Copies of this chain bind each other. A is one copy, B any other.
Amino acid sequence: MTDSEVQDRIALLRGLRAIREFRPEPVPQAVVDDLLEVARWTGSARNYQPWEIVLIRDREMLRALAEVGPRARHLAGAPLGMMLIMSGNPDRFEHETFDEGRLSERLLLTAAAHGVGGCIGWFDSDEAADAKALLDIPQERLVRTALSFGYPDVEALRARQKPPQARKPLAGMVYQEKYS
């Protein structure tokens, strides 16, 4: 790999931000193919791969999901939604939750690698029960996260004029050898 490839990779990894406002164009199939292929190869505890995915493009369904999950309301305006379905093994709740975070991050980065924006939406257990009913997902599965994908609506983002989200400084976050 070249220096400029390394720099490009780090810029991608460092620069990922949540995008909630999308243009209406569909996400190209080549991007969807990469999303699914990267999902398939994402690592998981003991290589259980405890996930399944429902791809949703139907506008009415995306609106209905946004309705039952207020913290996933960006689905309503997204050309593509992705519901993550974890296997729901109660003995592996902690592992599945951690692995779901890994999978979500890899998917958002894959979209960003193509210039496509995305955002994580979250369903509480009551809200998830409604989402499962809408999508014919058995209630024993663990559903909690839906991802929105689409090309960023730069004008809408500008109009909101939200300041960029700050981050804590490294001092106070990083320790050498011991915590102190």
Contacts and interface: CB of A to CB of B under 8 A. Distances in A.
30 contacts: A6-B113, A8-B8, A9-B9, A10-B38, A13-B110, A14-B37, A14-B41, A15-B41, A16-B41, A16-B43, A37-B170, A40-B170, A41-B167, A42-B105, A45-B122, A49-B167, A49-B173, A52-B172, A52-B179, A53-B173, A54-B174, A55-B174, A55-B177, A97-B97, A97-B101, A100-B101, A105-B105, A105-B106, A136-B180, A138-B179
Interface string A24-64: 00000000001011111111010101011111111001000
Instruction: Give the number of times this chain occurs in the complex, counting copies.
Output: 2
A165 interface: yes
B102 A168 contact: no
Contacts of A43: 16-18, 120
Nearest to A132: B179
Interface of A: 1, 5-6, 8-10, 12-18, 34, 36-43, 45, 47, 49, 51-58, 61, 85, 94, 97-106, 109-110, 113-115, 120, 122, 135-138, 144-145, 165-170, 172-180
Given A40-B173, A100-B98, A110 B47 contact: no
A146 B49 CA distance: 21
A125 to B, nearest CB: 10
